[in-house]
């Protein structure tokens, strides 16, 4: 005797609602998590207007508010930085310009020390990186 089969395994279509909800939760977690961590060195550049730029090859060094040097987002000490300067000068065909990305709280003597370190290695000119003003102010009368 054959019994009729009443149970069907896939009676309803596949429900994607649960998967869509998990997907959107994952997107929200990734977006919120990415905003919390920003890699790199936190530096607040000073604000200035109408400073000259350069079209020559540059060598960039950053300084945080504690006076530590950073090259390619890695902390570096003075002897290693001088060796990097010397290597860059020897491998470049044109004269290099040092771009100092110093935090606004860095003492001036540290900036001058870095410029002199670069000059001793063969980089004759140093420029201080700044930010432009966010809003144009009307000229003073």
Among 141, 125, 6, 139, CA closest to 57:
125
Residue 26 within a domain: no
Residue 96 within a domain: yes
Residue whose structure tokens are 């997907």: 23
Answer for the pair 45, 99: CB distance below 8 angstroms, yes or no. no
**Token pair of 37, please?**
């961590």
Count CA within 13 A, CB hemisphere, residue 107.
6
Report pLDDT for 39: 67
**Token pair of 52, please?**
């000259």
Mean residue pLDDT across the chain = 85
Q: What tens digit of pLDDT does each residue of 65-95 get?
A: 988 999 988 899 999 999 999 999 999 888 9
Residue 38 within a domain: no
**For residue 124, what is the domain's CATH number?**
3.30.420.270
Determine the structural domain holding residue 116 and report its residue range. Answer: 58-128
Domain count of the fold of the chain: 1
Residue 113 pLDDT greater than 90, yes or no = yes
Model pTM score: 0.67
Residue 60 pLDDT greater than 70, yes or no = yes
H or E, element range at 75: strand 74-76
């Amino acid at each position: 005797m054959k019994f009729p089969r009443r149970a069907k395994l896939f009676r309803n279509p596949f429900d994607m609602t649960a998967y869509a909800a998990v997907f959107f939760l994952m997107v929200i977690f990734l977006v919120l998590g990415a905003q919390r961590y920003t890699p790199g060195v936190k530096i607040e550049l000073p604000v200035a207007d109408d400073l000259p730029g350069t079209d020559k090859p540059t060598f960039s060094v950053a300084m945080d508010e504690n006076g530590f040097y950073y090259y390619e987002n890695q902390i570096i000490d003075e002897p290693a930085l001088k060796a990097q300067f010397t290597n860059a000068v020897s491998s470049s065909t044109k004269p290099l310009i040092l771009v100092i990305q110093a935090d606004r709280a860095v003492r001036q003597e540290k900036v001058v020390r870095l410029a002199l370190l670069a000059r001793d290695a063969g980089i004759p000119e140093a420029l201080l990186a700044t930010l432009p003003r966010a809003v144009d102010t009307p000229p003073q009368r």
